């Protein structure tokens, strides 16, 4: 449930053999038998160090290739293009040693004034850049495949995604992420969309059957098996909660009285969030199931149903009609109900607040509906269900890329910081022992803030050393396998200390949250080259 803030694809051309390889690997970062924390961390560190080394090698080679192209562009009088390449290299490696020499060469170069030569050189420049991009893309695909073999599926997903940023037509990367090429348009599209296009056509209002295109073009829209004028449909749907506009995307069915176009727009937002959710929480599932959800995205037997109300009043009316006078629901900005498998929220005047709410509620929905769970069997640690949803509210999309945990200045994080700073006696173990009723009825708003902050800590502390163990803890909770004192059994502090050590680290983390710390240099090894 989203509590109001207190004031103040399908890569099965490759994936089966990759997954089979994982099954036969000896102890890896993802599959080894848990021994001591020190041993496990050492193995993880070796793999991470090797990954950094291989990645750095590929980036350095890419920079060298771009430097050669920039030098060539400067000699041909393409000063502006050469300067743009320098900016591109700086983004990859701000301290790249050969940049100063390139800049000096560009400054001395003379701008070519012959339009014919400029056009010819411009085409040659694009060819050279495409060659450099393709070369780096090929190396990253190889490295991503290596990451899959040691269970680093999230890292592999990110690498393949980066390949498509620099080389959108890379067929291997496209197929790994589940794309197919439309023969007519030559576009790379998802497998789901590929099959949708066979029988349907896409509009800004979603998908419609091709056989109904003439009706659609006339301004008619479907309603209970008939096609009415769009105006007539609007007069019915906008005033009747139980006859909403409905659109279906790959994984979601969205119902709203706000119009079909708004519903489709919202469905696309949900699909984008869906991909990021599985990227971060792949460890919530067993290794093979998680990899399939991230890469293969199998067809759902039941779609995830979400309901978007036009206003707070509409939402409150619905809550009263469907759930009675439940005080907690009336005070909420949205909620997910496992009994009817629906998440509900309303469109706030603050658009960012609306999306934070939907991240929160749909997170509850995905955790519950993508894996068989029996969370009622767990005892204690009831904070984790709302905590992980509050944490997800801190995710933000920056320049097209998701950044989990980005929003450090949110109201809830600040409330948690202030509380911990002025309440030194707060106990992590005591918080873990709070039962579900107490969590929601005694200091509920503060509990949400502390729970979200705790999840932020476990997901991001010290270069995310606790992240995978915490996601496994979350999975165990939903499977009904957690007790009051289970947390230190999953999150092991090197050197021991249990709850007390975790509490100390959490308080220190929150006290310094937002402060930038220098990264320590580390000499990597060649574990992934084996």
pLDDT digits (tens, 9 = 90+) for 112-166: 777 788 888 889 999 999 999 889 888 888 888 777 777 677 778 888 888 888 8
**Does 108 lie in the same domain as 170?**
yes
Centroid of chain to Cα 115: 46
Lowest mean pLDDT among 171-180, 342-351, 437-446, 455-464: 171-180
Q: Are residues 248 and 361 in the same domain?
A: yes
Domain stops at, among 161, 177, 193: 177
Q: What per-residue confidence (pLDDT) applies to 1?
A: 62
Question: Would the CA dihedral through 348, 354, 357, 358 be positive or negative?
Answer: positive
Residues 6+ apart with CB under 8 A from 334: 1, 2, 315, 343, 344, 345, 346, 357, 358, 360, 361
Provide the pLDDT for residue 298.
Answer: 60
Pick from 365, 385, 415: which residue ends a domain? Answer: 365
Do 127 and 253 lie in one domain? The reply is: no
Helix axes 444-464, 467-478, angle to 10 degrees: 140
Based on the fold, state whether residues 360 and 243 are members of the same structural domain: yes
222 found inside a domain: yes
Q: Is the confidence at residue 404, as pLDDT, over 60?
A: yes
Task: Identify the three-state secondary structure at position 190.
Answer: strand
What's the rounded Cα separation, in Å, for the pair 343 and 360? 10
Domain assignment present for residue 102? The answer is: yes
Task: Tell me, yes or no, whether 171 and 255 share the same domain.
Answer: no
Full residue range of the structural domain in which residue 159 is found = 34-177
Q: DSSP label at 299? A: P
Is 406 within a domain?
Answer: no
The reply to whether 195 falls in a domain is no
pLDDT at 525: 40
Are residues 246 and 163 part of one domain? no
Q: What kind and span of H or E run contains 209?
A: strand 206-209
Report the domain count for the chain. 2
Considering the domain boundaries, does residue 518 fall inside one?
Answer: no
Mean pLDDT of 47-57: 82
Report the run of H or E that residue 180 belongs to, with start and end.
strand 179-181
Which has more confidence, 56 or 315?
A: 315
Maximum mean pLDDT: which of 289-298, 330-339, 392-401, 504-513: 504-513
- The confidence score (pLDDT) of residue 4 equals 45
Q: Residue 213: how many CA atoms within 13 Å on its side-chain side?
A: 7
Q: In terms of domains, do 166 and 288 share one? A: no
Same domain? For 96 and 223 the reply is: no
- Among the candidates 299, 330, 365, a domain finishes at 365
Q: Is residue 60 one of the residues assigned to a domain?
A: yes
Domain assignment of residue 132, yes or no: yes
pLDDT exceeds cutoff 60 at 32: no
Q: Is the pLDDT of residue 11 over 70?
A: no
Neighbours of 127 (CB within 10 A): 10
Predicted local distance difference test score (pLDDT) of residue 297: 63
CA distance 377 to 478: 8
Same domain membership, residue 275 and residue 173: no
Count of beta carbons in the 10 Å neighbourhood of residue 225 = 5
Would you state the pLDDT for residue 314?
92
Query: Cα(530)–Cα(527) distance, rounded to whole angstroms?
Result: 6
pTM value is 0.77
Q: What is the mean pLDDT of residues 316-323?
A: 88
Distances (CA, A) of 494 to 17, 36, 37, 491, 498: 36, 9, 6, 10, 10
Say yes or no: 166 and 226 in one domain.
no
Res 19: pLDDT? 36
């Amino acid at each position: 449930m989203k509590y109001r803030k207190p004031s103040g694809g399908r890569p099965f051309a490759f994936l089966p053999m990759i997954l089979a390889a994982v099954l036969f690997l000896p102890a890896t970062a993802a599959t080894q038998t848990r021994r001591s924390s020190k041993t496990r961390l050492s193995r993880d560190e070796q793999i991470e160090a090797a990954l950094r080394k291989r990645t750095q090698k590929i980036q350095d080679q890419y920079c060298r290739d771009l430097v050669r192209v920039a030098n060539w562009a400067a000699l041909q009088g393409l000063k502006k293009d050469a300067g743009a390449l320098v900016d591109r290299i700086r983004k990859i490696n701000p301290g790249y040693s050969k940049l100063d020499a390139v800049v000096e060469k560009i400054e001395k170069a003379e701008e070519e004034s012959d339009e014919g030569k400029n056009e010819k050189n411009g085409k040659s420049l694009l060819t050279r850049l495409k060659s450099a991009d393709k070369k780096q893309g090929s190396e990253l695909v190889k490295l991503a495949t290596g990451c899959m073999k040691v269970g680093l599926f999230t890292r592999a997903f990110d690498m393949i995604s980066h390949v498509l940023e620099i080389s959108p037509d890379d067929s291997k990367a496209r197929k790994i992420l589940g794309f197919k090429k439309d023969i007519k348009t030559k576009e790379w599209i998802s497998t789901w969309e590929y099959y949708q296009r066979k029988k349907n056509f896409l509009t800004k209002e979603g998908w419609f059957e091709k056989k109904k295109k003439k009706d659609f073009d006339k301004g008619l829209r479907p309603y209970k098996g008939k096609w009415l004028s769009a105006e007539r449909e609007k007069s019915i749907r906008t005033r009747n909660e139980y006859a909403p506009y409905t659109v279906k995307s790959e994984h979601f069915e969205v119902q709203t009285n706000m119009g079909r176009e708004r519903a489709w727009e919202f469905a696309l937002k949900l699909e984008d969030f869906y991909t990021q959710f599985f990227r971060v929480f792949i460890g919530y599932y067993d290794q093979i199931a998680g990899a399939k959800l991230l890469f293969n995205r199998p067809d759902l037997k039941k779609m995830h149903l979400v309901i978007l109300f036009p206003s707070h009043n509409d939402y409150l009316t619905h809550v009263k009609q469907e759930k009675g006078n439940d005080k907690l629901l009336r005070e909420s900005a949205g909620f997910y109900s496992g009994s009817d498998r629906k998440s509900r929220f309303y469109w706030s005047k603050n658009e960012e607040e609306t999306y934070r709410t939907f991240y929160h509620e749909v997170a509850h929905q995905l955790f519950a509906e993508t894996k068989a769970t029996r969370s009622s069997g767990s005892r204690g640690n009831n904070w984790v269900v709302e905590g992980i949803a509050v944490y997800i509210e801190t995710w933000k999309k920056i320049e097209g890329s998701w950044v989990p945990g980005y929003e450090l200045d949110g109201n809830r994080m600040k409330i948690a910081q202030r509380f911990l700073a002025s309440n030194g006696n707060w106990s992590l173990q005591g918080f873990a022992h709070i039962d579900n009723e107490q969590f929601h009825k005694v200091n509920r708003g503060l509990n949400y803030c502390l729970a979200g902050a705790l999840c932020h800590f476990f997901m991001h502390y010290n270069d995310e050393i606790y992240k995978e163990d915490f996601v496994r803890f979350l999975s165990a909770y939903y499977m009904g396998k957690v007790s009051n004192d289970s947390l230190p059994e999953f999150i092991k502090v090197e050197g021991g200390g249990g709850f007390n050590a975790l509490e100390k680290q959490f308080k220190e983390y929150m006290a310094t949250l937002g402060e930038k710390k220098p990264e320590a240099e580390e000499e990597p090894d060649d574990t992934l080259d084996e």
